[in-house]
Amino acid sequence: MTKMVKRTIWIILACEFLICLGISLIFPVMPFIKNEYHFSAFDMGVMSALFALVQFIASPVVGRISDKTGRKPMLVWGIIIFALGEFIFAAANHLWLFNLSRVIDGLSAAMFVPTSMALAADITTERERAKVIGWLSAAFSGGLILGPGLGGLLATYGYKVPFWVAGILGTLSVVVAIIGLPDERKAGIVLHQSNHHEEKGMWHKLKELLTPELVALFLMIFVASFGLAGFESIYSLYVNEVHQFSLGAIATVLTLNGIISLILQVFFFEKLTMWLGEVRLIRYSYFLSALATFVVIYDHSHWQIIVATLVSFEAFDLLRPAITTLLTKASDHDQGLINGVNMSLTSIGNIVGPLLSGATLDMNYQVPYLIVIVFLMFAFGISFRIRRG
């Protein structure tokens, strides 16, 4: 890698980590906001859902725009909007302002995350790409994992403090991005996009891109996000009610998962893709996650359940970067649009997974995880439609 490529990657890694950190800062302070302003549980649910809804709608649109206008403007504006959203949340004292902040945060994530993936595809070779996407995935998940803990720590000085801090860091990141990110034209970076003279609409362009292989990859990214969200959203309740796990045991499992996930994605993801290839890694991950989920349902040994949980979580955490790497290789153009759809489908999975798991949990404790297993095995079957190359 050249110095310019390395600098660019480090900047987008730091900014993506910060944005994902800001996304999850809200979780530990939600009870304080609810009590302080006398919001209902429904109000808080809407506040959380708005982020995912806006991200779902906006991701393909801004991805397509970045294909036309360049990556740097979209990345810089994404960070500016992130900082604005954090400052609004910190200063808010009415429900509509809190909701506006979450809408802005969702738009920020839609602008930055898929565009950063597209830029990574633009400036790396296929050999380097798995490593870089593994790093980006680690920054994404690392921010989400560490955000609640950092938010809880800063909230001891005032529950709005985390958002003031995030807004200030976002403002500093804007300066770093403006100075440090390369201008594609000046740096000679060739965007992976279609001919600029072809003024085609987003939906027309998407139809052209939807080859059977790309459709299969999009289906798999949806199942991966649906499976993880469905598995994770009720995990604490499930193991507490069914297997009598204590709060300490649950916290230990989730902490171990965060640590192992970061180590896998940063240090071993590239090695695994070189050893197995992305396609076989995806197949093994789907199969192992389904098998481990089955063990969580029917085993009654605490240690075996903990090991199965970690296997399931790590398999999920390898799926997203592996599928994303294949998506960047599936087409030589329109990386912004492809990664936008990728993020949009991830958002749908993150919405549908918890809703379906929560609804079916009242029927029977095993039903949500059985549904997850069915989806995972369906995706395992789809993976055989993907060529090894």
- Secondary structure in 3-state letters for 83-108: HHHHHHHHHCCCHHHHHHHHHHHHHH
Structure tokens belonging to residue 30: 């939600």
Structure tokens belonging to residue 152: 């809880």
Structure tokens belonging to residue 132: 């870089």
Summarize the confidence of residues 374-389 as an average pLDDT. Answer: 82
Residue 208, pLDDT score: 63
Q: What is the percentage of the chain residues whose pLDDT exceeds 70? A: 89
Q: Which residue has the higher pLDDT, 173 or 200?
A: 173
Residue 125, phi then psi, degrees to nearest 5 = -80, 165
Give the angle 325-329-332 at the CA atoms, nearest 5°.
Answer: 140
Half-sphere exposure of 385 (CA within 13 A, CB side): 15
Distance CA(170)–CA(40), nearest Å, equals: 30
Whether 50 has a pLDDT exceeding 50, the answer reads yes
100-122 residue pLDDT tens: 998 998 899 888 888 888 888 77
Q: Which amino acid is at 194?
A: S
Summarize the confidence of residues 151-158 as an average pLDDT. Answer: 80
Summarize the confidence of residues 173-182 as an average pLDDT. Answer: 87
Handedness of CA 208, 209, 213, 215 (dihedral sign): negative
Residue 125, pLDDT score: 79
Contacts with 139 (C-beta within 8 Å, 6 or more apart), sequence order: 13, 14, 16, 17, 20
- For the CA atoms of 94, 96, 100, 106, the dihedral, rounded to the nearest 10 degrees, stands at 110
304-339 residue pLDDT tens: 999 999 999 899 888 888 888 887 776 666 667 777
The count of other CB atoms within 10 Å of the CB of residue 275 is: 10
Distance CA(118)–CA(341), nearest Å, equals: 12
Query: What is the band of 194 on the pLDDT scale with cuts at 50, 70, 90?
Result: very low
Half-sphere exposure of 210 (CA within 13 A, CB side): 11
Summarize the confidence of residues 257-262 as an average pLDDT. Answer: 81
- Which range has the worst mean pLDDT, 11-20, 63-72, 102-111, 324-333? 324-333
Task: Answer for the pair 20, 136: CB distance below 8 angstroms, yes or no.
Answer: no
Query: What is the band of 281 on the pLDDT scale with cuts at 50, 70, 90?
Result: very high
Residue 377, pLDDT score: 93
Whether 143 has a pLDDT exceeding 90, the answer reads no
Domains of the chain (ranges, CATH numbers): 3-191 (1.20.1250.20), 204-385 (1.20.1250.20)
Structure tokens belonging to residue 320: 């997203």
Whether 61 has a pLDDT exceeding 50, the answer reads yes
> How high does pLDDT run on average in the chain?
81
3-state secondary structure of 130: helix
Distance CA(213)–CA(218), nearest Å, equals: 9
Summarize the confidence of residues 58-86 as an average pLDDT. Answer: 86
Long-range CB contacts for residues 370-375, cutoff 8 Å, separation at least 24: 370/297, 371/230, 372/226, 372/227, 372/230, 372/231, 372/290, 372/293, 373/290, 373/293, 373/294, 375/223, 375/226, 375/227, 375/230
Residue 195, pLDDT score: 46
Query: What is the band of 76 on the pLDDT scale with cuts at 50, 70, 90?
Result: very high
Summarize the confidence of residues 339-349 as an average pLDDT. Answer: 78
Residue located via tokens 């954090």? 86
Q: Which residue has the higher pLDDT, 78 or 344?
A: 78
Task: Answer for the pair 124, 132: CB distance below 8 angstroms, yes or no.
Answer: yes
Q: What is the distance, to the nearest Å, from the Cα of residue 84 to the centroid of all Cα atoms in its chain?
A: 21
Contacts with 332 (C-beta within 8 Å, 6 or more apart), sequence order: 192
Residue 185, pLDDT score: 59
